[in-house]
Amino acid sequence: MHHKQKGVLFTVASALLFGVTPVLASLTYDMGSNASTLTFYRNLMVVPVLVLLMAVKKIPFRVTGRELLLLLAVGVLFRASTTFMLYDSYQYVGIGTATTLHFMYPVFTALLCRLAFREKLGAGKTAALLLATAGIVCFCDPSGGFDRRGILLAVASAVTYSCYMTGMDKTALKEMNPNKVACYMGLANAAAMLLLDLPRKEIVFRLPPKAMLYTFIIAVCTSFAAVALLQMGIRELGASTAAIFSMLEPIACVLSGWIFLQEAMPVNKILGCLVILGAVAVIVAVDRRREQTAAGLQKTKTE
């Protein structure tokens, strides 16, 4: 399989896992859990699994001082803060509005790569990015209100997530073993959530067994599988392209809510799904055309 195809497969699989797990999250909330509890356990529960996996695969646990600083910076400052601010924004604006604003992160990722690393977007990628953003806007739910604090938190979560994706692409973390990255980030993010919770006292440490089981499944699917797959996808595609494929996540979220929770599927959400799929199709077509052009040039040189 071609490297680009692998990158697409990894990123799409990651988006689907991230998109489906909110169904289980919703069920745990009904059992007494909340956003802080889920974020804490989502990171903590995956650490023993990863430690065991690394031991079996004989992956060294040692990290250099520079790698540790990168893991803390990218993991805690960007990834953990993203989750915290996004969940916190739900208190002030509706989930639909907050999620819409958060999924502006591909725009920020593309801008960050362009401004900081002089990465060229090209007409095809720019068109796909604008199309995907238009699709995300279709999911907006104005009934949730427009509280200024909630909007700032949701937009900030988009900025920090774009920093996370760019950090995974443009630093030494790109070449680190995905299981090692997920392990250290899970541990660091759980510790950060615990410290943040000291004044808030929102983490529920005693949940029903069924809620803990669902939380464990969420942890394995997201903080283990989805994070590792996203890292591998970014490695093959780059942060800005991977961000566009990651926009399949809200489609998975909407469809899983419709299938498993009998949530409504209004026309605007259907339209949003179709527009995002169109953006993904544009990226695939652009990459295929680029490969065909490169193959033609190579053939011309050899003749």
The two tokens of residue 268 are 């605007």
Instruction: Label residue 301 by pLDDT band (50, 70, 90).
Output: low
Q: What is the predicted pLDDT for the residue at 252? A: 87
The two tokens of residue 165 are 């994706």
| pLDDT higher than threshold 80 for residue 216 | yes
Q: What is the predicted pLDDT for the residue at 26? A: 82
The two tokens of residue 207 are 């949940």
Q: What is the predicted pLDDT for the residue at 303? A: 60
| pLDDT higher than threshold 70 for residue 33 | yes
Q: What is the pTM of this model?
A: 0.83
Q: What is the secondary structure of the chain as a DSSP string?
A: --HHHHHHHHHHHHHHHHHHTHHHHHHHHTTT--HHHHHHHHHHTHHHHHHHHHHHTT------HHHHHHHHIIIIIIIIHHHHHHHHHTTTS-HHHHHHHHTTHHHHHHHHHHHHH----HHHHHHHHHHHHHHHHTT--GGG---HHHHHHHHHHHHHHHHHHHHHHHSGGGGS-HHHHHHHHHHHHHHHHHHHHHHH--------HHHHHHHHHHHIIIIIIIHHHHHHHHHHH-HHHHHHHGGGHHHHHHHHHHHHS-----HHHHHHHHHHHHHHHHHHHHHHHHHHHHHHHHHHHH-
116-133 as b/e, with b when 16 or more CB fall inside 10 Å? eeebebeeebeebbebbb
Q: What is the CA radius of gyration of the chain?
A: 19
Range of lowest pLDDT (16-25, 31-40, 83-92, 167-176):
83-92
* Mean pLDDT, rounded, of the chain: 86
- Each residue of 63-119: pLDDT tens digit? 999 999 999 889 888 988 888 888 788 778 766 677 778 888 888 998 899 889 888
- Each residue of 139-178: pLDDT tens digit? 776 665 567 888 899 899 999 999 999 999 999 999 899 9
Q: What is the predicted pLDDT for the residue at 144? A: 56
Residues 200/20, Cβ–Cβ less than 8 Å: no
